[in-house]
Structure 1
Amino acid sequence: MQYDAAVIGGSFAGLSAAMQLARARRKVLVIDAGLPRNRFAKTSHGFLGQDGRAPQEIVDIGRSQLLAYPTAQIIHAEASAVAQSEQAFSIELSNGQKISAARLVLATGVKDELPQIAGLEDRWGATVLHCPYCHGYEVADRRIGVLGSGPGSIHQAALVADWGPVTLFTMGVVQPSPEDLALLAKRNVQIENAPIVELVGAAPEMEAVRLQDGRVLPLGALFLMPRTRFVSDLALRLGCSTEEGPMGPYLKVDERKQTSVANLFAAGDVAAPMPNATLAAAAGVLAGGAAHQSLIFG
């Protein structure tokens, strides 16, 4: 089946991109495997007009609004292979279907690689968190920890201190400089060098952390900066250039979300150094609009 554009990924960025194309009365297909990165979070915050809603509820509303346009379609499937010719992209789906699209928008997202600490994964998105702007208000005034993973953890610890008393767990990998120590002291951040080996309490809540030396420290939330990787390697197989961000690689795009591959656009976490729901939706708007205009102006 032939489409003007296909969008792979049906969360905030993908649906926003498809909306622009549908409103331009272009035939657009969203291919979505249904595994968004934010599925572990109970609610989404900091997203104007959507604050406090469940991420899936926001997606469901977006899908309903998109499908109100007669030229839009959504398929629940995984894009297993993509090839590009001079005229179009050929896409094979996990359900065996094959489609063709003149333009392609990738909104495939990234996956968090969590540290192997007992009890951590069970609390991911609830009391183990990555973004204080997304979740800090909800854990404010608890004892908060920051799990050291690199130089960015010092910045994170100083930042998170606006939400509660903070302890930076260096985990044997973070070595604060004298300037770092001065900043952390100014922000009243405590430093603990003994590594965390277990999170304690009835998940998804947290009561404390157990350290390698046997001590148990009270803690109500833990922030970290996980490494991320691409959920899908389709962009790499198509030859897209990447850049290295503070959390992992992301696709290189220009101001209109065009990748290094002609007629291929990307939006959302897969193409940004900093994940954020509002920024993902805005990037989708840019990518969808640019994809539409490229159909006209080349």
Structure 2
Amino acid sequence: MDDVIIIGGSFAGLAAALQLGRARRKVTVLDTGLPRNRFAGHSHGLLGHDHKPPLDILAEARQQLARYPTIRLVNVRAESVSGTIDDFSVLTGDGESLGARRLILSYGVADQIPDVPGFAEGWGTSIVPCPYCDGFEVADQHWGLVWSGPQSRNYVRLYHDWTDTLTVFADGHDIAPDIRADLMRQNIPVVDGRITKIARHGGHSATVKLDTAPDVAVDILFAHPRNKPSASLHDAMGLVTVNTPFGIALKVDERRETSLPGIYAAGDLANPQMASVTTAISHGATAGISAQQSMLV
């Protein structure tokens, strides 16, 4: 039996494994090899790894974990989870049944890409969600924002640190008159109509095509599609979740423990506020340390 099984081997999961391996705890990491940021050419804002491809950072991390004999990395999907603290069971996609005293869920979320031609092809390059991740590279250029609800007003305020040229695409949303008036005072145009297609031009540039308005070209388009957990293991275990403007997230305490004792969660799966590699690593390390300390005699 393992001390801990970690389901999801991206940044949060590997950070948890590192802490547990250094504590000489027996750990198995199950991973499908499909991290959320695999569409991005570079990862930004991670100290020591700024502007590196995220898949390269993960590959280097796996190589570093190889020096810890108690860590096992397995490229397989976790199909089901059952049990209680000190006696959890995980069934893998290849039919293996694994046991562990603790579980860490770090299988992340999947972005629900809208059915708009060109959106999927541009996701992670010309269409991005995070100014902290990509804003510096396109600072002082023409940004576009696909309105997604009341939270979009905060994005407008946030973007001013990077650019003064912004166009808002309503995309069928009913933007309140007072918000429209505020945007007008800031010289931020609002383009009505549904987005019908996004044409990509090179690295970041994109042309937004609409059903009732002329095309609009921008240097970068920010969008925030809803997301959902990449697996449903938490549902099967009855873990408490919270609804956010972006989707469903697992509820955890300051130690990253979920509503079921012995199960911890880290990464985007349990962090609806700030999706970033730095935060995922921090929360993953916390989950690993918390799981290890919970097993002390």
Mean Cα deviation higher: 139-148 or 23-32: 139-148
Contact 2:126 2:206 in 1 (8 A): no
Q: Hey, what's the Cα distance between the residues in 2 that align with 1:120 and 1:76?
A: 29
Correspondence 1:288 to 2:291: no
Corresponding position: 1:133 with 2:135: no
Alignment partner, residue 221 of structure 2:
222
Provide closer, same or farther for how the CA distance between residues 201 and 61 of structure 1 changes in structure 2, counting only shifts above 3 A: closer
Q: Distance in 1 between matches of 2:37 and 2:294?
A: 31
- State how far apart, in whole Å, the 1-side matches of 2:90 and 2:50 are: 35
Question: Aligned with 1:117: secondary structure?
Answer: coil
C-alpha displacement at 1:172, in angstroms?
Answer: 2.1
Distance 2:247 2:224 in 1: 10
Structure 1 CA distance for aligned equivalents of residues 160 and 64 of structure 2:
39
Determine if contact 1:157/1:167 at 8 Å carries over to the other structure: no
Q: What is the aligned length?
A: 295
Is 1:170 equivalent to 2:170 in the alignment?
A: yes
- The amino acid across from 2:277 in the alignment is A
5+ long unaligned stretches in structure 1: none
Whether contact under 8 Å (1:161, 1:189) holds in the other structure is no
Q: Which moved more, 1:191-200 or 1:284-293?
A: 191-200
What is residue 211 of structure 1 aligned with on the other side? 210
TM-score by length of 2: 0.94
Counterpart CA distance in 2 for 1:3 and 1:166 is: 52
| Equivalent AA in structure 2 for residue 239 of structure 1 | G
The two structures have a TM-score, normalised by structure 1, of: 0.94
Taking a change above 3 Å as real, the CA distance of residues 55 and 250 of structure 1, as seen in their structure-2 partners, is: same
Task: Letter of the 1:166 partner, please give it.
Answer: L
Letter in 2 for 1:295: M
What CA deviation, in whole Å up to 9, does each residue of 1:35-60 have, x standing for no partner? 00000001001111111011111111
Over 3 Å counting, the alpha-carbon distance change for 1:279 and 1:205 in structure 2 is closer
Query: Where does the alignment leave 5 or more consecutive residues of structure 2 unmatched?
Result: none
Shift of the alpha carbon at 1:224? 1.1
For 1:201 and 1:259, how far apart are their aligned partners in 2?
41
Q: Which amino acid aligns with 1:291?
A: A
Q: Is the 8 A contact 1:158 1:187 kept in 2?
A: no
Question: Does 1:60 pair with 2:59?
Answer: yes
CA distance in 2, matches of 1:56, 1:265: 25
Matched residue, 2:248:
249
How far residue 177 of structure 1 moved from its aligned partner, in angstroms, is 4.2
Matches for 1:105-144 after TM superposition, within 5 Å: 105-144=104-143
Instruction: State the match for 1:11 in structure 2.
Output: 10
